Amino acid sequence: MAKKIIVFSGKQYSGKDTVAKILLENLKDFKRIGLGDAIKIEYGKNIGKTFEEIEAEKHLYRADLIKFANEKRAIDQDYWIKKIVEYPDNVIVPDMRVKREYEFFKSQGAYMIRVEASVEARSKRGTLVKADDPTETALDDIKDWDYVISNESDYETLKENTQKLLQDYLQTV
């Protein structure tokens, strides 16, 4: 089971992965293990594609990935969470999307981060697909995040904001 868990929530192209990468540069004893990675690997096996092929063009697969992930959650609501908690090290999960995942990780004492970015900022970073899907909106009403980081500007500003996040995290552990 993971020792320490940091999880991220945010809409597509909000910068969750970028903030996670910056944190990983500073938290050497953490590994990135995304719920989405587990989904892409398993989906890829079904369609004969590698994780790397799907990741390189994830915008082409996004709708099918959402459907596939939701089908597995319908069978076992904790299907993807179980894949993560089996990992033995400290983990950063950059893609928490639904309330069950939120509730589970919260119950495990995870440090909960929300990355906020406007539709305008996110649209400049990529094509928004299925923006009204529950995997994009289910956590919008959550207010008790351990930290909320804004990503409306450039990379340098995000990096500075992430350093503030890092200091907050280090003070809480």
Each residue of 4-15: pLDDT tens digit?
999 999 988 889
- What is the CATH code for 5-34+86-172? 3.40.50.300
Q: In the prediction, which pLDDT does 151 show?
A: 92
Could you tell me which residues come within 8 angstroms of residue 62 by beta carbon, excluding any fewer than 6 positions away? 12, 129, 130
Give 96-147 pLDDT, tens digit per residue.
888 988 999 999 899 999 999 888 888 888 777 787 777 787 898 899 999 9
